[in-house]
């Protein structure tokens, strides 16, 4: 009797895999096409876009929207502010969250359970927007400055739980016992052993912090009063507000060119704000795929 090869499959199995591939392709298309459409619409003539003639390739190629954004000093300043807030906020968040998660993962730390309960309570209950605003602006004195975009909420409990779970379940206890025999302290073990073995999960947490800080719109809206400290998202909001006003003028029958310009700026703003994170993700994808399931149930 002839044995089947390792890649031989029953017809039902082939049909099942084909169906899975087809469904996955449809989901990918539904997810990716809106992003692709915004990209091609941002470099297309808005006459073709509004006429519904732009589907897969740009028509009437133009970079006027990006040129107008680049010539706007507020956009460039907002970009610089957002890059600074994202990098500094991510660095501070990692510096606070990582050692805290390691300390809570130590079984010989007597207060770790009580502290973990304290952190978990903050995930479900908060003081509310007004008390938080008063605490940050009045008590801490961080209102309308760059620090208010970096320091508050630098400890993310969700990220803390992920890191704590990794340190507790994925670092063999034998490593710590061997390090103890060599006279290694907790701080040295954390810096020399734990961190190098945690590159995957640290990359995932860093990406979470970076995306969160990059997209932080509400903090700038609530706390920042000086325009020179506004992040990119809030600057784009003001631009989109102006473009909506232009669209309102067109709807009243005054200026169609204003509507074309408004739509072009809107598409260009969306691409300008999202492209940096989308360009960064491929470089962290291998760590993301490896680290996102760390701490889950293993067979």
The label of the residue with tokens 């990098």 reads 87
Instruction: Count the Cβ atoms, other than its own, within 10 Å of residue 54.
Output: 19
CA dist 107 and 155 (Å) reads: 22
One digit per residue, pLDDT tens: the chain, 299 residues? 444 544 445 677 888 888 899 999 999 888 888 888 888 888 887 777 777 777 788 777 878 778 877 777 777 888 888 889 989 999 999 999 999 888 888 887 888 888 888 888 888 887 788 888 888 888 777 777 778 888 888 888 888 888 888 888 888 888 887 877 777 788 888 888 888 888 888 888 888 888 888 888 888 888 888 778 888 888 877 777 766 665 565 555 556 666 677 777 778 878 877 777 777 777 766 666 555 455 444 44
CA dihedral 112, 117, 120, 125 (to 10 degrees): -150
Instruction: Give buried/exposed letters for 272-298 (b at 16+ CB in 10 A, else e).
Output: bbeebeeeeeeebeebbeebeebbeee
**Domain locations along the chain:** 64-291
What angle do the packed helices 232-251 and 256-291 form, to 10 degrees?
A: 150
Instruction: Count the Cβ atoms, other than its own, within 10 Å of residue 46.
Output: 25
CA dist 236 and 75 (Å) reads: 7
Instruction: Count the Cβ atoms, other than its own, within 10 Å of residue 37.
Output: 16
Instruction: Count the Cβ atoms, other than its own, within 10 Å of residue 257.
Output: 10
The predicted pLDDT at position 284 comes to 67
Could you name the CATH architecture of 64-291?
Answer: Orthogonal Bundle (1.10)
Residue 214 tokens read as: 């990059």
The predicted pLDDT at position 1 comes to 46
CA dist 242 and 269 (Å) reads: 13
* Nearest CA-CA partner of 247 in 263, 239, 259, 264: 259
Give residues with Cβ within 8 angstroms of 90, minimum separation 6. Answer: 206, 209, 210, 213
Give me the numbers of helices (H) and strands (E) for the chain, helices first please: 13, 0
The predicted pLDDT at position 299 comes to 43
């Amino acid at each position: 009797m002839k044995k089947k090869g390792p890649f031989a499959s029953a017809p039902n199995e082939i049909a099942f895999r084909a169906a899975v591939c087809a469904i996955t392709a449809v989901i990918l298309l539904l997810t990716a096409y809106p992003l692709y459409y915004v990209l091609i619409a941002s470099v297309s003539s808005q006459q073709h876009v509004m006429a519904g003639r732009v589907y897969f390739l740009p028509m009437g190629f133009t970079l006027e929207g990006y040129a107008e954004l680049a010539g706007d000093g507020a956009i460039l300043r907002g970009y610089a502010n957002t890059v600074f807030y994202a990098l500094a906020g991510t660095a501070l968040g990692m510096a606070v969250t990582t050692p805290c998660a390691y300390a809570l993962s130590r079984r010989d730390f007597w207060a770790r359970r009580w502290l973990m309960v304290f952190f978990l309570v903050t995930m479900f209950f908060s003081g509310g927007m007004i008390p938080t605003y008063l605490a940050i602006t009045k008590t801490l004195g961080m209102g309308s400055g760059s620090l208010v975009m970096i320091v508050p909420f630098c400890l993310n409990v969700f990220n803390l739980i992920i890191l704590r779970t990794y340190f507790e379940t994925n670092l063999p206890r034998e490593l710590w016992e061997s390090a103890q025999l060599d006279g290694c302290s907790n701080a040295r073990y954390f810096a020399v052993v734990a961190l190098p073995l945690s590159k995957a999960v640290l990359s995932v947490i860093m990406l979470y912090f970076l995306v969160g800080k990059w997209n932080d719109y509400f903090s700038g809206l609530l706390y920042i009063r000086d325009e020179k400290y506004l992040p990119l998202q809030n600057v784009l909001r003001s631009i989109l507000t102006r473009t909506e006003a232009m669209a309102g003028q067109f709807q009243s029958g005054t200026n169609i060119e204003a509507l074309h310009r408004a739509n072009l700026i809107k598409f260009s703003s969306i691409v300008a704000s999202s492209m940096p994170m989308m360009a960064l993700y491929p470089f962290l994808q291998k760590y993301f795929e490896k680290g996102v399931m760390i701490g889950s149930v293993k067979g």
